[in-house]
Amino acid sequence: MSYEFKFPDIGEGLTEGEIVRWLVKEGDEIKEGQPLVEVETDKALAEIPSPKTGVILKLLAKEKEIIKVGQVIVVFGEKGEAVATEPPPSKPGSVGVVGELEEAPEEPAPPEVKPAPEKPSFVSPHALATPAVRALAKELGVDIEKVKGGGSEGRVTEKDVREAAAGKARLPEPEKKPAKVKKYDFYGYIDHIPLRGVRRAIAKAMVKSKYTAPHVTAMDEADVTALWGIKEKEKKNAEKKGIKLTILPFIIKAVIAGLKEHPYLNASLDDENEEIILKKYFNIGVATDTPEGLMVPVVKNADDKSILQLAEELTRLAEKARNRTIDLADMKGGTFTITNYGAVGGMYGTPIINHPEVAILGVGRMKETPVVMDGKVETRKMLFLSLSFDHRVVDGAEAARFLNMIIARLEDPDLILLES
């Protein structure tokens, strides 16, 4: 008997994925647990195992196709079994999906009844909704101005939008003709690159963050001359243990000290319930440049780890991200993110918050800079920092104090060592 396998939810909040490569073909015999298909989801590659032993009767999705959670992607069966043919399309006027129902004879029109006066409704020309809910409505094709709000004071919630989307009539889409792809425009030849995989995930995340959180960026610099000396001194000892020591673990420790004093930067905002969620744990995401695009592995419980432990874990996670073997769990649960764009150049930036977090620290290139100290000009190693934060949760003064705490520890590494 045939068995339909639906694309499962393999990650927190997952709604869709892209078929990268089928590891089987129709007619193959497969065992339970054997690799079935590679799917790209939320910036990571996931290998989906077969849920049962049997024969592949039909593959219902093509490579490079976007599939939704709950969508049937493969049909299993027994050897020699044929796939059941699809039912013929319904006749006009009939209803039902599996079969057809005979049309009922037309009934006389009911007598005209005057409509009762409409009851007051929460629907208004200007629906109350957060930017995130409006963005969701736009994505799902729902006219938010026609959605009845179920929240406080008639506010339209995410649940209202999703219910409206689910209740929309499923009309048959007209057959689409293949679009002609132009190889040139008015000025010359062009290439068309599908927005897929990691780049597609990045695009969606960036749009959601920018349209949800009002970004503000504060910038400053830190004199890391002393810290750099400590890092260089301990670098060889770390190498003997097979650990690559950089300045990043020290920055993570400085950030955690700041987050403990300013917990509103280690938080998220629940728009629907209008609550600020303060996180009492410190999971630090580190944006990593890979050939496929930007990924953000997360160091869990970073406050419990030493400088060398952080360095070792950062190296391991970065390597897994670059060769696409990182697990989805390693990219979830972040409370604050650091992006070190200075590793490839650039002093200041305006990094986009890794939603639903509240802030992100951009680390620029370290540069030897002439600085006046005690009336004398000295060459110092300066590190340039950019802190983007959600102004709904954090005010500029608090962000500045947080940044000052980070700078104080980077300029006086003994504070970091005392707190570790």
What band does 11 get if pLDDT is binned at 50, 70 and 90?
low
Helix (H) or strand (E) holding 21: strand 16-22
Does the pLDDT of residue 99 top 50, yes or no? Answer: no
Does the pLDDT of residue 353 top 60, yes or no? Answer: yes
What band does 161 get if pLDDT is binned at 50, 70 and 90?
confident
pLDDT tens profile 182-219: 887 878 888 888 888 778 888 888 888 988 899 999 99
Does the pLDDT of residue 134 top 90, yes or no? Answer: no
CA distances from 317 to 16, 42, 241, 322, 353 (A): 24, 16, 17, 9, 21
pLDDT at 297: 95
Q: Which of 281, 283, 265 is nearest to 403 (CA)?
A: 265
Whole-angstrom distance, CA of residue 343 vs CA of residue 366: 9
Whole-angstrom distance, CA of residue 59 vs CA of residue 418: 59
Query: Are the CB atoms for 286 and 338 separated by under 8 Å?
Result: yes
Question: Average pLDDT, whole number, for the chain?
Answer: 84
pLDDT tens profile 248-296: 999 999 999 999 999 999 999 998 889 999 999 999 999 999 888 889 9
Strand locations in 102-244, DSSP E?
215-223
What band does 105 get if pLDDT is binned at 50, 70 and 90?
very low
pLDDT at 155: 81
pLDDT at 319: 93
pLDDT tens profile 389-403: 999 999 999 999 999
Q: What is the pTM of this model?
A: 0.68
Q: Which of 251, 257, 254 is nearest to 286 (CA)?
A: 251
Query: Are the CB atoms for 328 and 320 separated by under 8 Å?
Result: no
pLDDT tens profile 43-75: 677 888 999 899 999 999 998 888 888 899 999
Does the pLDDT of residue 117 top 60, yes or no? Answer: no
What's the chain's Rg over C-alpha atoms?
28
pLDDT at 124: 41
Peptide bond into 356 cis (omega under 30): yes
Task: Calculate the CA 116 to chain-centre distance.
Answer: 48
pLDDT at 97: 32
User: What residues act catalytically?
Assistant: 391
Q: If you average pLDDT over each of 38-47, 76-85, 97-106, 400-409, which comes out highest? A: 400-409
Domains and CATH numbers, the chain: 3-77 (2.40.50.100), 131-166 (4.10.320.10), 212-419 (3.30.559.10)
Whole-angstrom distance, CA of residue 163 vs CA of residue 40: 28
Whole-angstrom distance, CA of residue 351 vs CA of residue 368: 23
What band does 89 get if pLDDT is binned at 50, 70 and 90?
very low
What band does 170 get if pLDDT is binned at 50, 70 and 90?
very low
pLDDT at 225: 96
CA distances from 382 to 169, 236, 249, 344, 402 (A): 60, 23, 17, 16, 19
pLDDT at 88: 41
Does the pLDDT of residue 160 top 50, yes or no? Answer: yes
What band does 93 get if pLDDT is binned at 50, 70 and 90?
very low
Higher pLDDT, 175 or 184: 184
Q: If you average pLDDT over each of 65-79, 96-110, 176-190, 347-361, which comes out highest? A: 347-361
Q: Kindly state the tokens that stand for 394.
A: 């954090």
To 10 degrees, what angle do helices 197-212 and 131-140 make? 140
